[in-house]
Amino acid sequence: MDNSQEGCLICSVSEWEMIFELDPAIYRLSAIKKAAYKFADRFHIQLLTSDSGWIKALLKSKAAVENSKAMAGDFCNEVLDQELREVVAEDTRLIRDLLLRQAFSATSLIDAFGDDSDYHTDPKCILRSALSSPIRVDNTAR
Amino acid sequence: MAIDSQPQVPQEPVQSPQTLFQQLDRYKGRAGATYSLLPFRFLALDATRFLLTNFTGELLVLPKEVVRLFVHHRLPIHSDIYYRLKSRHFLIDGDSTVPVDLLAAKYRTKQAALSQFTSLFMLVTTLRCNQSCVYCQVSGRSENEHRFDMTEPVADAAVDFMFRSPSSLIKVEFQGGEPLLHFDLVKHIVRSVEQRNASAHRDIEFVIATNLSRLTEEVIHFCRDHNVYFSTSLDGPCDLHNRNRPSFGHGSYKDVVSGIRRVQDTLGPQRISALMTSTRASLQRPREIVDEYVHQGFSSIVLRTLHPYGRAAVLGTGIGYSIDEWLQFYREALRYILELNSQGIVLREATAVLLLRKILTPWATRYVDLQSPAGIGIAGIVINYDGNVYCSDEARMLAEMGDQKFLMGDILSDQYKGIMLSEALLSPLEETLTECMPQCSDCGIQPYCGSDPVRHYRSQGDMVGFKPASDFCKMHLGLVKHLVRLLEDEPAAAKILRTWI
Amino acid sequence: MLKLYGQSVVSWDGDPFVARLTTDCNRPLAVREQEVLLLANEADCYPEGFRAYVTARERLGNTLAYRPRVLPLPALMGYLTDGDVVHIAPRSGQIHVLYRRHSTANTIFVTGRCNCRCIMCPQPPKPTGEEEHWAPMWLAAIPLMAQDTLELGISGGEPTLVPDDLLEILAACRGHLPHTAVQVLSNGRMFNYMSLCRNITCINHPDLMFGIPIYSDLPYVHDYIVQAENAFDQTVRGIMNLRRYGQRVEVRVVLLRQNVERLPDIAYFIARNLPFVEHVALMGLEPMGYAAASWHDIWVDPADYQAPLEAAVECLTAHRIPVSIYNHQLCVLNRSLWPLAKKSISDWKNEYLGTCQTCGVRANCGGFFASARRRHSKAIHVI
């Protein structure tokens, strides 16, 4: 059948039911669940593991769906987007924690020198003059 | 003053730029070959584009495939889109660490209103009313039922309560029924607050929410002398307004309009504002409603949906409509408002202003119904005529319908601490942070949205609410996406909207 | 263009000193030690007690050839008048004007050194030589300045390069000139140290503002323009730290080819990240020093950047951040920007072209830098 999105097989589509098979190597279970959640106002949803190891999603409509092919496409898109969100969440988990801690901290968590140092000692070498010696830069080589 | 340089000093000849300066590439190279993502959320704006919001709600709209490239660390460094993402703190690379400091500071700024705590105190001075609006959420009592008036002891306890809040701003809103039917108490409260404030030194604002039918000279003079503002309802041109807001026989339009004129003429046009509530009858007439506001000399209009309380709930679909239908009405009304703006007419739509401030500015907003944690109790609070304290207007209406779930306490017998720490308040606050609720926590417009536990409880039986079925969610998604589309795709409209913040 | 340094033909053996000029022969004896009497002509005898005497006549008659402490005024310094403060180095005969009573552009130059090397710097720091210590001269001058001086600038080089001198000078301003607004021009990098911000705040100056440049929203571009790595981070942290201590900050953006296209992004960056700044100044180039040497690399005609300039102004204005445009002529600006264009060029280097004689808006126009005679927009025209 239709295989417009890698790892997301639309097995069957009707005005009362849609069945998908999704590759867990591409889509996290949490992403599939979140996508399903968004459709749970209009569908009863079952998630199973198929024999091939893929996740089978059965969406049984509560009322007849007019444009079921488009709806199926929407579901696949939603899974894709939710997977992307999971990637972002994982990728930014640590920096997000740091940002929240910094937001509620009275001191800097990344610039202790700026916060605590005596400017006379200048540990960050800010005073170092750009003109302490004239530069001879060979820019022709670039 | 602009001091640009030293006076002339005898100088050695200046060396040539080639020998003196490092080239651009040397600094450019410090950015490195890779980048790290900073936290952000996104949702589909349309078929081809995502709307992205960073940690503190800064907005970008990008093609979907670009976002995918970006997330998978394959976006070309030093491309135009890369710079947009970098400048707005969606990514960080090797030449700078200060985005961490800036994002943390911006986050604090967006949350800053929290530390102010409760600033809006809504006092229901009486349930008596002389009108019978079709969507009324108050179940007004007739004019002679004085047992539904707030008493002085309750009023005095309310004033004490207000000053327990740490907020530097205290905004007192007189509600009802019709507050002008019990004006003596309004005067008493205003005077008590002023007296208390002589030593408390807060910023005080007074507003009366009134239908203006009892606007006497005495009222006008008092409000002039004590800097009291007026808020009224104007649903549209005469026939529409009267259909929604009949007044036991004749319509209320005449009173409202003449009241508006009187306040504008005697106290000034800034002293009165109006909002409209849409019923099914309103949806066909966006331009006429806007015209009515212009005609009455307003510079601001609040386009508001029905809430599912009181008579509105009982009457059901007679005056009701779907959110899609309302959004259609809103878009048309806004388009017309923008058209008028381009012709030099000053008129802003207040919901758009609020959302634009969230989207475009670094500042916190204090609108009670669009906060996370929810604005119930901690931004605004309601003290009913009988001394019952509710966390919001909606909570009180729920109580009128028989459900006291959100009753926080009794102002006469309970202490401030007990009321503010009651389970009726803490529970909904804890459970409904948009940062934590399913579908809200990673929603692209989370920074611009809020939670409404009372409404979700009323409509779904659960404070958290199942968002796919939530009208509140649908409405805000529709509003924000529409505004973002205008900002992104319509330069003329965007230019006007950007002046509204 | 006014000459602020001069060389007299006379010298004598004496230590350098700072003094206030007066034309009044009858000054109270107690103050004469701090003052220099300015005379129109030579005289046979001079009132006693003044630190020195300056005559307007260039050439001395023979009778006074050997009279110590009498200097003829160098050429082109005839503008000096009562209340001006000068530094005189008798052994070399050098006169340096530190302060002019009727100028709105008085500046204290704390040091000639800098820790940046901006590619458009109009007054590059001197290369290595003897380290100057200018603070004592200024500390002597401040008490001699008029109490009703409205504004005073503190600049350099980079004032925070000698942080303790800067602190002393600010304290002196507070003590001697409590009604004078002070603006410190600095790259802000040393304010990365909270300890310096703390010390500044302890002085408790009643009307103090910091003018700090940011040249891009992209860190590496800013670093390139100032020729110092990490400068952007340090400057932004410096501004944030000043804010934490309740100090007032103005952001200055010099417009050059390297940053003018991103001006709207820079404006939005300021509005979102530094929304507390009191003012933003968008500044045209001064074609001197490195700017003159690099002119072909950095110059962009203002007539060609009106679109990003307007967009930036619109953004800042919508966010209620006051904006001014400095060093631009009215004829090259879009009309909507005219209210923001200030007469910003220091009086002593402010000039107009011949073309400007017949211009209808000359009175409101800021004109040109003296050094811009051949380096200005091709769009200059009479209104």
Residue C75 has pLDDT above 80, yes or no: no
Closest CA to B324 of B137, B477, B484: B477
Closest Cβ opposite residue B104 in set A77, A99, A140: A99
As given in the structure block, the two tokens for residue C332 are: 């090259």
pLDDT at C183 over 90: yes
Nearest CA in chain C to A128: C115
Please judge whether B1 and C233 are an interchain contact, meaning their C-beta atoms are less than 8 angstroms apart: no
Q: For chain B, what is the mean pLDDT?
A: 91
Instruction: Give the pLDDT of residue C383.
Output: 85
ipTM of the complex: 0.92
pLDDT of residue C48: 87
Whether C194 and C217 map to the same domain: the answer is yes
Task: Choose among A116, A119, A129: nearest Cβ to C196.
Answer: A119
Tell me if chain A has a CB within 8 Å of the CB of C243: no
Residue of B463, B501, B483 whose CA lies nearest to B374:
B463
* Residue A137 pLDDT level (bands cut at 50, 70, 90): very low
Q: Which residues of C touch A131 (CB under 8 A)?
A: 113-114, 117, 125, 127-128
Could you tell me which chain C residue has the CA closest to the CA of A118? C195
Domain spans, chain A: 8-91, 94-134
pLDDT value of residue B286: 96
Statement to judge: residues C202 and C279 lie in one domain: yes
- Which residue range(s) make up the domain with C346? 107-372
Is residue C349 pLDDT above 90, yes or no?
no
Query: Given a cut of 60, is residue B4 above it in pLDDT?
Result: no
For the stretch B449-474, pLDDT in tens is 999 999 999 989 999 999 999 999 99
Q: Which pLDDT score, from 0 to 100, does residue A2 have?
A: 45
Q: Residue C377: inside a domain, yes or no?
A: no
pLDDT band at A136 (very low <50, low <70, confident <90, very high): very low
Rounded Cα distance, B229 and B90, in Å = 43
Q: What is the mean pLDDT of residues C361-376?
A: 84
Average pLDDT over residues C155-171: 95
CATH of A8-91, one of 3.40.1360, 2.60.290, 1.10.1760, 3.30.70: 3.30.70
Give chain B positions within 8 Å (CB) of C326: 2
Ranges of CATH 3.20.20.70 domains, chain B: 112-420
Residues of chain B in contact with residue C127, where contact means CB-CB under 8 angstroms, are 12
Q: Evaluate whether residue C301 is within a structural domain.
A: yes
* List of chain C residues whose C-beta atoms are within 8 Å of the C-beta of residue B12: 126-127
pLDDT value at residue C260: 97
> What burial class does residue C157 get, using C-beta atoms within 10 Å of its C-beta: 0-12 exposed, 13-18 middle, 19+ buried?
buried
Same domain for C70 and C150, yes or no, is no
Please, which residues have CB within 8 angstroms of residue B260's CB and are 6 or more apart in sequence? B212, B232, B234, B272, B274, B296, B297
From chain B residues 207-226, the ones with a CB under 8 A of any chain A CB are none
> Best residue in A111, A128, A129 to probe C by mutation, most C CBs within 10 Å?
A129
The tokens for C298 are: 């950095």
Tell me how many degrees the CA angle B160-B163-B165 measures, rounded to the nearest 5: 125
Contact check, Cβ <8 Å, A118/C234: no
Residue in the block written with tokens 């003596």:
B184
Q: What is the pLDDT of residue B7?
A: 45
Give me the pLDDT at residue A74, please: 94
Rounded to whole angstroms, how far apart are CA atoms B479 and C74?
Answer: 73
- Nearest CA-CA distance, residue C55 and chain A, Å: 40
Q: What angle do CA B345, B346, B347 make, to 5 degrees?
A: 110
Average pLDDT over residues A18-24: 96
Per-residue pLDDT at C360:
87
Instruction: Report the residue from C219, C290, C314 with minimal CB separation from B95.
Output: C219
Out of A115, A117, A130, the one facing C115 most closely (by C-beta) is A130
Closest-CA residue of chain B to C239: B102
Tell me the CA end-to-end span of chain C in Å, nearest whole number: 25
**Optimal mutation site among B98, B487, B496, interface C, most CBs of chain C within 10 A:** B98
Indicate the residue among C45, C67, C99 that finishes a domain: C99
Whether B323 shows a pLDDT value over 50: the answer reads: yes
CA distance C115 to chain A (A): 4
> What residue type is C55 in one-letter code?
T
**pLDDT value at position B194?**
98
Of the pLDDT bands very low, low, confident and very high (cuts 50, 70, 90), residue A141 is very low
E strands, chain C, in order:
5-7, 17-22, 35-39, 52-55, 70-72, 85-89, 94-99, 107-109, 151-155, 181-185, 208-213, 248-254, 279-283, 323-326, 350-351, 368-369
B391 neighbors B406 (Cβ within 8 angstroms) = yes
Q: Which residues of C touch B10 (CB under 8 A)?
A: 5
Residue A9: strand pairing partners: A21
Kindly report, residue by residue over C270-315, the tens digit of the pLDDT. Answer: 999 999 999 999 999 999 999 998 999 999 999 999 999 999 999 9
Contact C217, B95 (CB under 8 A): no
Q: Are residues C17 and C90 in the same domain?
A: yes
> Does residue B318 carry a pLDDT above 70?
no
Contact B375, B434 (CB under 8 A): no
Name chain B's partners: 3 or more CB pairs within 8 A: A, C
Strand ranges (E), B416-457: none
Q: How far is C119 from chain A (nearest CA, A)?
A: 12
Q: At what angle do helices B453-460 and B393-400 cross, to 10 degrees?
A: 30
pLDDT at B89: 98
Confidence at residue B5, expressed as pLDDT on a 0 to 100 scale: 39
More confident: C128 or B184: B184
> C: neighbours with 3+ CB pairs under 8 Å?
A, B
Answer yes or no: do C338 and C310 share one domain: yes
- The residue in chain B having the minimum alpha-carbon distance to the alpha carbon of residue C292 is B14
Q: Does C183 touch chain B (CB under 8 A)?
A: yes
Residue A142: which pLDDT band, with cuts at 50, 70 and 90? Answer: very low
CB-based contact C115 A119, cutoff 8 Å = no
Residue C68 domain-assigned (yes or no): yes
**B100 and A CB contact within 8 Å:** yes
Residue A75 in this model has a pLDDT that exceeds 70: yes
Boundary residue ending a domain (C54, C77, C99): C99
Would you list the DSSP string of C357-383?
A: GG-TTGGG---EEGGGTTSS-TT----
Superfamily of domain B112-420: Aldolase class I (3.20.20.70)
Nearest CA in chain A to B110: A103
Q: CA-nearest residue of chain B to C344?
A: B2
pLDDT tens-place string over residues B138-172: 667 888 888 999 999 999 999 999 999 999 999 99
Q: How many CB pairs under 8 A join B and C?
A: 148
Task: State whether B361 and C220 contact (CB < 8 Å).
Answer: no
Given a cut of 60, whether residue B315 has pLDDT beyond it is: no
Beta-carbon separation of B468 and A103 below 8 A: no
Q: Cβ separation of A132 and C241 shorter than 8 Å?
A: no
Domain boundary among C64, C99, C134: C99
Among B302-306, B427-431, C158-162, C304-308, whose mean pLDDT is lowest? B302-306
Domain containing residue C345: CATH number:
3.20.20.70
Q: Using an 8 Å CB-CB cutoff, list chain A residues near B29.
A: none
Q: Where are the alpha helices (DSSP H) in C100-162?
A: 135-141
Residue B30's pLDDT band, with cuts at 50, 70 and 90, is: very high
What residues in C contact A118, CB-CB < 8 Å?
193, 195
pLDDT band at C247 (very low <50, low <70, confident <90, very high): very high
Nearest to B27 by CA among C119, C293, C264: C119
Task: Answer whether A88 sits within 8 Å of B40, measured CB to CB.
Answer: yes
pLDDT digits (tens, 9 = 90+) for B201-221: 999 999 999 999 999 999 999
CB contact under 8 A, C326 and B30: no
> Are residues C130 and C61 part of one domain?
no
Percent of chain B residues past pLDDT 70, beyond the cut: 93
CB C377 within 8 A of CB C328: no
Mean per-residue pLDDT of chain A: 88
pLDDT tops 70 at residue C103: yes
Higher pLDDT, B466 or B314: B466
Cβ distance C183 to B3 less than 8 Å, yes or no, reads yes
CATH number at residue C20: 3.50.30
pLDDT of A129: 63
Q: Is A134 within 8 Å of chain B by CB?
A: yes
Please state the domain count of chain C: 2
Residue B3's pLDDT band, with cuts at 50, 70 and 90, is very low
